[in-house]
């Protein structure tokens, strides 16, 4: 299966009222560092059955959507999301991912604390 087909399959799984970042989609499609490629695939996708409006930029910024941010904003609002001028409000609460993402990873212990006993 091509990368494009995997990307579109991932995007079709994003439920209404939830969003994923370009990087989330790239990771779930098997190419962690291909967020820009995902953006290009979203830009060129003309399939009405693929909810491209649910793919957003890092941090909940709306991203491109072929230059029609007004339409993207309204589609997301119709699904119940709170969307400002350029960003999704409460992004962490509506972010969707079926695999762990960087923000879900436990924090690493700082080097200065490694190997030291924890006072409990």
Q: What angle do CA 35, 3, 18 make, to 5 degrees?
A: 55
What are the pLDDT digits (tens) for 72-109?
A: 999 999 999 999 999 999 999 999 976 544 444 444 44
**25 vs 38: CA distance, rounded Å:** 7
The domains of the chain, with CATH numbers, are 3-97 (1.10.10.10)
Angle between helices 3-13 and 35-44 (to 10 degrees): 80
Catalytic residue among 11, 26, 41, 52: 52
45 is catalytic: no
Structure tokens at 71: 């339409």
What are the pLDDT digits (tens) for 7-45?
A: 999 999 999 999 999 999 999 999 999 999 999 999 999
């Amino acid at each position: 299966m091509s990368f494009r087909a995997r990307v579109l399959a991932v995007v079709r799984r994003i439920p209404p009222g939830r969003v994923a970042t370009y990087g989330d989609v790239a990771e779930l499609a098997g190419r962690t560092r291909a967020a820009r490629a995902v953006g290009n695939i979203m830009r060129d996708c003309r399939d009405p059955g693929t909810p491209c409006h649910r793919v957003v930029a890092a941090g909940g910024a709306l991203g491109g959507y072929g230059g029609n941010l007004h339409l993207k904003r309204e589609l997301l609002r119709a699904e119940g999301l709170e969307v400002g001028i350029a960003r999704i409000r409460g992004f962490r609460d509506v972010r969707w991912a079926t695999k762990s993402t960087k923000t879900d990873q436990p924090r690493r212990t700082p080097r200065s604390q490694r190997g030291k006993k924890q006072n409990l």
